[in-house]
Amino acid sequence: MINFGVIIDLDGTLIHKGNATLGASELIKYLKLKKIPFRIITNSVGRTPSELAQKVKAVGIDIEQSLFLNPIIALDKFLVENNVKSFYFVGPKKIAESLSVVPEYDDYPEYVILSGLEEADYNLLNRLFGYLKKGSKLLTMSRSEYYITEDGPKLDTGAFTRMLESHAKNEALLFGKPSAELFRAALIEMDLESSSVMVIGDDVMTDIRGAKEYGLYSVLVRTGKYQFGDELKEEPHFICNNLIEIVDAIDVEYPRFFLSARRTFN
């Protein structure tokens, strides 16, 4: 019986600049073959799980849409459980419409929610600033300051979050990585404890830090956003150059994989 699972970051880890990373397809096939439970988590909120599944399938990776998790899932749960109706949502219309709650407010909302600011302009940013100065609380889906596209790096939601926090003196509540919310959702779905799950990612400040803070086994892969020396900023349990090495490591060393000391492929 399989008693461990895998959480995998999407952008930069499974896919990068519109292509599958080395070993990405092999890793997913291996997990399916061995019946090892896994989930794909991402701070990206511009696409629905169905669209994410189509995105990875286009580069040769077959993953069911039910296996994708993003911060919107955690946000929706928060809104419902706390009976929140007063909020201003910033992000794609289709994502706003996917929420279980329809917003309503008068002068200013109880919450400002940052989900995506690709269409942001000065007027919108100033409106958000005004709400926060009046007393709205700030919620954000990500603290990542940039993401990488085929055209190069672009500012991410975290950059605007930090700006608004600084000038409005209003600290945001985070729903994306490295917050525990996404990791917790994945563990619940897989019905596993944090001590028996590894997280694979390319970003030490979101994937690795979040994994370690939540008691998960952290694996840094040198793809995507990885830059030389990142492992010194937030030391992972395990480092590899690509996902093929992860397949080899699991196949050879499971179940001792989680009990071993930090190792590095040179």
Q: Which domain holds residue 246?
A: 5-66+194-264
pTM (global) more than 0.75: yes
On whether both 75 and 162 belong to a single domain, the answer is yes
92-135 tens-digit pLDDT: 888 899 899 999 999 999 999 999 888 889 999 999 999 999 99
Domain annotation covers residue 45? yes
pLDDT of 264 reads 41
On whether both 105 and 137 belong to a single domain, the answer is yes
Domain annotation covers residue 205? yes
Give pLDDT < 50 ranges for the chain.
255, 259-266
pLDDT of 113 reads 96
Domain annotation covers residue 183? no
Domain annotation covers residue 24? yes
Domain annotation covers residue 19? yes
Domain annotation covers residue 55? yes
* Cα–Cα distance for residue pair 115/156, rounded to 1 Å: 10
Domain count, the chain: 2
On whether both 136 and 206 belong to a single domain, the answer is no
pLDDT of 257 reads 55
76: domain CATH number is: 3.40.50.1000
Domain annotation covers residue 256? yes
Domain annotation covers residue 189? no
